[in-house]
Amino acid sequence: MKTFLATIVFLLFSNCLFSQNHSETESSTSNSYPVNYADVNFNLELSALIQSVNFETTIFRTKSNLFQLNGRVGVGYFYLNFLGVTQKVGGIIGLNLLLGKHNSHFEASIGWFLGFEKNFTERMHWPVISIGYRYQKPEGGFFFRPHIGTTGPGFGFGYAF
């Protein structure tokens, strides 16, 4: 598991550092203009169980921008009050799939939260799987995303560039 997580983190950061400019040309009616797609974003995610701050970068995108795969790493806080309070601080790692060419996207996420207590004596693993909607312009800027999944209902917002 440690090797898998280290590989994902390496791929995320190497993609961010060594990626090429993903400028492509789209045509709208008779005018053509270059589109600089947003490859990196920072976001805040608030859900029923986990609140987190995340860094996300593009791993793969089709030329038409219909399909996009992003990698995500972040830090978060887990809170569950069901037959006893459970509170953990930890990290999140995962993948996001976006489908949609323009501003509206279907989003599916899969990942993992690894949390610790303050004294690091007790670990907790929690799967992070969700589906939802993301409003994000291809060239970046402010975005938001309502979703539902293993962390309960929630929403996120951030800035892409």
Domain boundaries, the chain: 2-20+39-153
Give the model's pLDDT for residue 30.
43
Give the model's pLDDT for residue 141.
94
Give the model's pLDDT for residue 91.
96
Question: Is 51 in contact with 76 (CB distance < 8 Å)?
Answer: yes
Task: Give the DSSP H/E element, type plus range, for residue 152.
Answer: strand 152-160
This prediction has a pTM of: 0.75
Task: Give the DSSP H/E element, type plus range, for residue 3.
Answer: helix 2-18
E strand residue ranges, 29-150: 31-36, 40-47, 50-61, 67-81, 85-99, 104-116, 123-135, 141-149
Long-range contacts of 65-68 (CB under 8 A, 24+ apart): 65/24, 65/35, 65/37, 65/101, 65/138, 66/99, 66/100, 66/101, 67/97, 67/98, 67/99, 68/97, 68/98, 68/99, 68/105
Mean pLDDT in each 10-residue stretch from start to end of the chain (161 residues)? 58 51 44 74 96 97 92 95 86 96 95 87 91 94 97 96 92
